[in-house]
Amino acid sequence: MKTAYGAAAALLLFSAGPALAQSAPANGRAELTAYIDGLARDRLKVREASVAGLKSQADAEARKAANRAKILKLIGGLPERTPLAAKTWGVVQEDGFKVEKVTYDSLPGYHVTANLYVPEGKGPFPAIIVAPGHGLDGKIGNRNFAVNLARAGMMVLAYDIVSEGERLQHYDPELGASKVGRPTGEHSLAAWQTAPVGDHVSRYFIWDAVRGLDYLAARPDVDAQRLGAFGCSGGGTLTAFLSALDDRVKATGTACFITDFDHLLSTVGPQDGEQSIPGFLASGLDLADLVEMAAPRAYAVISTTEDMFPFEGAKKAVKEAQGVYALYGAEDRLSFIHGPGGHGALQPIASDIVAFFSRWLKDVPEKRPFTPPPRLSPERLWVTPTGQLSTSIGGETIQSLNAKRLKTVIAARPTVASAAEVAGLRKRLATDIRAVTFATVQPGGAPPEVAEGANGGLRFKVEDGQWADAILTKPDGDGRKPAVLLLTKDPQAVKAEAARLAKAGHVVLTLVARGAGGTEELKASVLGDWNLLATRMLLVDKTPLGVRLDDAVHAMDWLAARPDVDAKAISVYGLGALGPVALHLGAIDDRVAAIYADNSLTAFRMAVNQPIQRELPEVLPPGVLRRYELGDLALAAFPRPVTFVNPTDAVGTPLTQAAFDKELAYVRAADRKLGQGDRVRWTWRGGREPLVLP
């Protein structure tokens, strides 16, 4: 066995090279992030030119309508209205106001818990819906503002957004906490659960707020023509989307959220699941659009100078929005309230915030002292007896609602009984795969440019300024050899296996997943180490799976062109999150002679139907289940063999052979009609056993 690396490896087929690379390249994640940010800024420049072209109120109205349609399409639309089933569970009387403990149903059986702060006196009152930021206390975290707004004569509906307060989606009574972790972890998990259905989780968050407005507007003690919305941080996100999509909001206060993506990408980057809509930047949107969609209604962008959502970006967004408000002659209706401090530090400007709502909802332009109310123990404001819906009255979760929605949109399983029908399936999948993964590279192109990589490895040029790392391990002897394209995130983990396969007579190209190397903040352990980067990629219509599929096609082009490779005997072997990449490659590239998916997800729908899943961001393309399943890819590979090694469910637990056979029964049935009933197989290997290759 001999190894060859660098640009010369393509020619000096039998020269010995240095030692194998020891690990994934340390700069891989930074390189991919910079590439994605470059795509984002290209779209932002196009958007900036479009906004600069707004010259009239009619132009602004047309842009608002177009952006509204874009957002609704990107999130999967909003649900139909159903009975609110509102109920009051108790009342707490306080000085100058009372707190009603209420629930309403955003969707049937999907309960929203809220505290309604009702001022003293006779209504109808102006009313404000207040969304909490990302924290376990939920609605109680907004008590200071709710009390001060109520004392100023405005009713306040302070509600729990999902995964906060009394609405934890994965509450474990034994832990007294969520099994997933903090609220932002639950939010992001829900985002990945809804992605394969073709929806975005924000549709559920926004709908909770829309139904909250419905609840307020239906009360006889509320002036439905004077509704407002306020929120900070994650609550600012929902307030911004609510106001952009619902014209009933006459005054909006969005705190510690509005900035611009140019500055955001350079600092903390996109964050939580409901805040980051796939395709948002690719569709020509930025956060300032959410403000401009509310024009000419009263709006306050509220910022702190040391916020993690960059203050300079907030200033730029406000300046742009001022230009749009000027087209309506409504410059005075857009306010920029800002003060010192970090994220969520609103105390120094709290009186200004209350005064904003008083001016625009009560026509009382006065500034009142902001006085914190007496502290109450949280349980006094609980709506449910236990402080959690799941252990009190139960109800639906986003996961259960999404699983029901899947049944209405899931693609029918293909029926194949002839070679012509297999060809038809492959032709359709070639289009569908590119539509959801955003892969672009066609098989059979010229071999990619090759350069010397770190530690003697190879680097394939896969796009302008983008390189994929690889390691070539070659056998002794002359002539053409079978080859293995080994897809992994950790080349060190398969170093010995690559050497073993080469000794057995295979040319082995270990292709390292682009973006491997480096790490990121974990919103929740179940999400793995790709949640934030995958979220960033989706904003510009890229996916980890699509990027890796493109790289694998380039690698196939390179392998197939080598004089020491039998181009009719190239197998692809995907490990873990790269298993689906191998299946996709086999479906679109008939040069692949055999496909292996090792310790990887068996079916995309498991990511929807199981309550909790692991490491979805790397493998789930948005909308995939409206078009195809992983089993469909195995079927499209006919007549080539497909082997699932330790296939898993969405939690990562290996399936039994019986469970696997049930899941892939429709593929096996088609194979029997085609005369190859044993083509797709299940097998098992121990963690220290060699890869399952001939």
Say yes or no: domain 27-41+412-683 is CATH 3.40.50.1820: yes
Identify the band that residue 25 occupies on the pLDDT scale cut at 50, 70 and 90.
low
- C-alpha distances out from residue 439 to 433, 580, 678, Å: 7, 13, 31
- Please state whether beta strands 565-575 and 507-512 pair in parallel, antiparallel, or not at all (unpaired): unpaired
The predicted structure's pLDDT at residue 26: 60
The predicted structure's pLDDT at residue 438: 98
CA-wise closest residue to 573 among 565, 560, 564, 582? 582
Query: For 507-519, what is each residue's pLDDT tens digit?
Result: 999 999 999 877 8
CATH 3.40.50.1820 spans which residues of the chain?
27-41+412-683, 57-405
Cβ atoms of residues 277 and 256 within 8 Å: no
Query: For 170-189, what is each residue's pLDDT tens digit?
Result: 999 999 999 999 999 999 99
DSSP one-letter code for 369: -
The predicted structure's pLDDT at residue 5: 29
CA-wise closest residue to 243 among 194, 298, 193? 298
Cβ atoms of residues 165 and 194 within 8 Å: no
Query: For 234-257, what is each residue's pLDDT tens digit?
Result: 999 999 999 999 999 999 999 999
Mean pLDDT for the chain overall:
94
Cβ atoms of residues 526 and 485 within 8 Å: no
Q: How many residues does the chain have?
A: 694
Predicted TM-score of the model (pTM): 0.94
The predicted structure's pLDDT at residue 598: 97
Query: Tokens 């407002």 correspond to what residue?
Result: 228
d(CA 130, CA 378): 18
Say yes or no: domain 57-405 is CATH 3.40.50.300: no
pLDDT at 11 over 60: no
Query: For 41-63, what is each residue's pLDDT tens digit?
Result: 999 999 999 999 999 999 999 99
Q: What is the DSSP string of 98-126?
A: EEEEEEEEEETTEEEEEEEEEESS-SPEE
Let me know the angle formed at the C-alpha of 53 by 52 and 56, rounded to the nearest 5 degrees: 110
Identify the band that residue 16 occupies on the pLDDT scale cut at 50, 70 and 90.
very low
pLDDT at 362 over 60: yes
The predicted structure's pLDDT at residue 1: 44
DSSP one-letter code for 96: T
The predicted structure's pLDDT at residue 540: 98
d(CA 644, CA 648): 9
